[in-house]
Chain A
């Protein structure tokens, strides 16, 4: 469906230096899927989205939608954004304050090349307003809408033209937390029902995990990893992804050898640790092991199995639906997330078990850092 190939975008900043905002970015999005570009601010995700929209002119690469090439540096093709027929929701919603709700939503139909008859515009707009539950506010001034309503109107406006592709630029970031959670489901429902191919840009990892079919994690203009939410979370390809997506414990170590059940054994400051890795590791390689707090299991009795260590509770915090522990293995602090029924007191001894399947060794992180 959407295919982005070796995309590069750079532009001069205020001081005239060239900023390479997007470097060699490639990905494919199948029809009807929701694809998320995830990363911290300044990672190039918005520039990538704007390049797809045609609001930025890339320096090189190719972008095509349904095998229609909208940008190609090889053939010097650049389709203007207003000729691409994509819907877009901006972070600020960009609701035009001088038009009412209906006029805002009807605008894409009125300005397009072939203007449908009045009746048809009326029908289409009311249908899409009904879909976002704004039909009862059609005559209201756009400035009188609440944040969530503006967000839904922006979505309606992007959908009314029945776009080939829907582009969402941090659409939920200006909403308060409760509303954001609700709108998250809303967006997911609409996207799945309409089967619209959607590119979603966000810096919020939980949003990305909840919504996406596939996620591309970006940093400094480059894609760090592309994968399903579960891939990204459970098998991060590098330290950046592990750190950015969710909370994690990093334990550095060096590879001792392979384990007979699969995976490897790594020598770490807390002891020998059984891990898995997507990389092909050799004995003596420096690795960084990432393990999520919820995969650090606490128990007062010594459990059976591998990767069991003795520890002392250092700090514990009650958070309602779970309890966070900071435990000390030797001199090493680890974060663990446990069920609130676990009530080991501060200073008491406890055992921790790290599921080897959830301990992901990332190759070479430490070497790179040293270099």
Chain B
């Protein structure tokens, strides 16, 4: 890069104009750094600051206090809160992991029938948002109105409650099921990246199948297993939908639902919420730290792979009908039942159990109601605008960031990398809280507008964008840029004409991913929306709060169908533009 600078000085015949003296490169780099630091650090700082102050009222200014932490840490309630959160998150992680790993193993290493079909399952969590999945499972397994209970009760002529979703185990069940495809994807990748000759050479050494599994497969997979468990744990402890919808009504509190309650009680207690949020933040930070360390360690294990043979799938014999049955059952629980229960209830006037009588009263009223719902059009518009704007901004910003991190030798660039990845440790709700707190205090007129939500979205999903960019930036050889420089291209031209086009598939993949996750976003928006800036998932939330289950189902069905179409379109787009990984 230095070469270009000197050259441009040597070659310019006229003395440079004032604005030419400052290299565009440095302006863009500087701007990006400032933006990233602002996005990553400011909310965090304010959150911590806020947790040490009393609520500000008209009568009394905020004062320094340790009272929030006092309230948060001296009560037995908090200990219970901590233990419940831990139980919920660990339970979810273990359940999702076991389910996902079993499926991944069946899919990768056995001859289970139609296993290829089930690979398509991996997109399910993308198209069924957490809030709808939770609602669907409440409709399926609530003790009073749950369809599964009612069906089994009439079958066995009993009033025994078979499933009770309103319990810690019910919460673990729903949350774990929702995250199991994620475990499935990660463990599938782990199974694939393992050099099969490592296992084969143990077999050739005379080890039995059990010894191979114990001494080699399991020990080698250990970093991947632990990292997966940690990711699932983080996702579970951050999750908001299940604790709020299932836990709150029956008094099972975890950190996220307690933060929400502290804000929504009257008078709202931002300080207490912040104290909880800081604690939650500490937990996720530790987990993310260990997770990234493990990933680093994992790469040491995966460096020594030859081309090797794809392992021949294990012939399960008759057992493969059992595994196929498990696949079908899983499919039913994760897609078919939740979607069908929403579909059924969306055609009802009042929520009722499927029966011949109810069949006669099928109606489109719910759809009519939802389409006529006053805030619906606005909320769809808001969701789309937010998703597209945040995805575009993030990909532009992170492409510069990751160029600096990957391609330059600027000292301190690791700091930039960490800053941009920092929002990873923010649970959605905590980020919403931090942004809310900051812009309540620093009133620059964006509180209560769409801008504050855009800001929060950009912050929240920035690490995803960075990951997509870094992966594809690594593949661009330095010489491609250098030869452009030698051809006389300036830094800006180089970036626009060489780097961005080469990054395009990675940028597009990241952009699509961010659009999809933004559209389903709930936990950050829930603290930031105000009348007029609702997004679709907030409308779902409102309908739930009002007890309008039938209307909610109708909206849910349309939401899922729209997301499904969006994912299909994205995959088509991806194939067209040569995006390899999604």
Contact with B along A2-23 (1 / 0, CB 8 A): 0000000001000000000000
Given A94-B197, A97-B220: A107 in contact with B205 (beta carbons within 8 A): yes
**B312 at interface (Cβ–Cβ under 8 A)?**
yes
Residue contact A161 to B301, C-beta cutoff 8 Å: no
Inter-chain contacts of A92 with B (CB < 8 A)? 195, 197, 304-308
B195 to A, closest residue via Cβ: A92
Cα–Cα, bound, A82→B308 (Å): 19
Question: In the complex, which of the residues B206, B219, B307, B309 contacts A161, with contact meaning CB atoms closer than 8 Å?
Answer: B206
Question: In the complex, which of the residues B195, B208, B220, B301 contacts A111, with contact meaning CB atoms closer than 8 Å?
Answer: B208
Residue contact B206 to A90, C-beta cutoff 8 Å: no
Cα–Cα, bound, A98→B301 (Å): 8
Residues of chain A from 42 to 84 with CB closer than 8 A to chain B in the complex: 46, 50, 53, 55-57, 80-84
Inter-chain contacts of B207 with A (CB < 8 A)? 82, 107-108, 111
**B211 at interface (Cβ–Cβ under 8 A)?**
yes
**A113 at interface (Cβ–Cβ under 8 A)?**
yes
Question: In the complex, which of the residues B197, B203, B215 contacts A82, with contact meaning CB atoms closer than 8 Å?
Answer: B203
**B61 at interface (Cβ–Cβ under 8 A)?**
no
Inter-chain contacts of A57 with B (CB < 8 A)? 312
Contact with B along A84-120 (1 / 0, CB 8 A): 1111101111111110000000011001110000000
Question: In the complex, which of the residues A50, A81, A86, A174 contacts B306, with contact meaning CB atoms closer than 8 Å?
Answer: A174
Contact with A along B404-419 (1 / 0, CB 8 A): 0000000000000000
**B86 at interface (Cβ–Cβ under 8 A)?**
no
Given A56-B312, A82-B206, A112-B206: A90 in contact with B200 (beta carbons within 8 A): yes
Cα–Cα, bound, A115→B465 (Å): 53
**B202 at interface (Cβ–Cβ under 8 A)?**
yes
Min CB–CB distance B313 → chain A (angstroms)? 10
**A24 at interface (Cβ–Cβ under 8 A)?**
no
Inter-chain contacts of B202 with A (CB < 8 A)? 96, 107, 111
Min CB–CB distance A279 → chain B (angstroms)? 38
Min CB–CB distance B107 → chain A (angstroms)? 15
Inter-chain contacts of B208 with A (CB < 8 A)? 82, 111
**A143 at interface (Cβ–Cβ under 8 A)?**
yes
Min CB–CB distance B207 → chain A (angstroms)? 4
Cα–Cα, bound, A108→B203 (Å): 9
**B337 at interface (Cβ–Cβ under 8 A)?**
no
Inter-chain contacts of A158 with B (CB < 8 A)? 204
**A157 at interface (Cβ–Cβ under 8 A)?**
yes
Question: In the complex, which of the residues A82, A95, A97, A174 contacts B205, with contact meaning CB atoms closer than 8 Å?
Answer: A82
Cα–Cα, bound, A95→B197 (Å): 9
Residue contact A111 to B215, C-beta cutoff 8 Å: yes
Residue contact A97 to B206, C-beta cutoff 8 Å: no
Residue contact B304 to A82, C-beta cutoff 8 Å: no
Residue contact A91 to B220, C-beta cutoff 8 Å: no
Given A11-B312, A111-B215, A174-B306: A94 in contact with B201 (beta carbons within 8 A): yes
A56 to B, closest residue via Cβ: B312
Given A94-B197, A96-B220, A97-B220: A55 in contact with B305 (beta carbons within 8 A): no
Question: In the complex, which of the residues A97, A107, A150 contacts B215, with contact meaning CB atoms closer than 8 Å?
Answer: A107
Residue contact B304 to A157, C-beta cutoff 8 Å: no
Inter-chain contacts of A84 with B (CB < 8 A)? 204
Residue contact A50 to B309, C-beta cutoff 8 Å: yes
Question: In the complex, which of the residues A55, A91, A108 contacts B307, with contact meaning CB atoms closer than 8 Å?
Answer: A91
Contact with B along A125-154 (1 / 0, CB 8 A): 000000000000000000100000010001
Residue contact A98 to B206, C-beta cutoff 8 Å: no
A81 to B, closest residue via Cβ: B203
Cα–Cα, bound, A36→B220 (Å): 33
Residue contact B304 to A87, C-beta cutoff 8 Å: no
Residues of chain B from 285 to 318 with CB closer than 8 A to chain A in the complex: 300-301, 303-309, 312
Residue contact B220 to A98, C-beta cutoff 8 Å: yes
Question: In the complex, which of the residues A56, A85, A94 contacts B206, with contact meaning CB atoms closer than 8 Å?
Answer: A85
Min CB–CB distance A58 → chain B (angstroms)? 12
Inter-chain contacts of B195 with A (CB < 8 A)? 92, 94
Inter-chain contacts of B306 with A (CB < 8 A)? 90-94, 174
**B216 at interface (Cβ–Cβ under 8 A)?**
yes
**B225 at interface (Cβ–Cβ under 8 A)?**
no
A11 to B, closest residue via Cβ: B312
Inter-chain contacts of B219 with A (CB < 8 A)? 98
Cα–Cα, bound, A86→B200 (Å): 12
**B476 at interface (Cβ–Cβ under 8 A)?**
no
Given A50-B309, A111-B215: A94 in contact with B205 (beta carbons within 8 A): no
Min CB–CB distance A100 → chain B (angstroms)? 13
Inter-chain contacts of A108 with B (CB < 8 A)? 205-207
Inter-chain contacts of A174 with B (CB < 8 A)? 306
Inter-chain contacts of A11 with B (CB < 8 A)? 312
18 contacts between A and B (CB under 8 A): A55-B204, A57-B312, A81-B203, A82-B204, A82-B206, A82-B209, A85-B206, A87-B204, A88-B201, A90-B308, A91-B306, A92-B197, A93-B304, A94-B195, A111-B205, A112-B205, A157-B205, A158-B204
Beyond A50-B309, A55-B203, 15 additional contacts (C-beta under 8 Å) are: A55-B200, A83-B206, A84-B204, A85-B206, A90-B200, A90-B306, A91-B308, A93-B304, A94-B201, A98-B219, A107-B202, A108-B207, A143-B304, A154-B201, A167-B204
Binding site for A on B (CB under 8 A): 195, 197-198, 200-209, 211-212, 215-216, 219-220, 300-301, 303-309, 312
A-B pairs, top 5 by smallest CB distance, nearest first, are: A92-B306, A108-B205, A111-B207, A94-B201, A94-B197
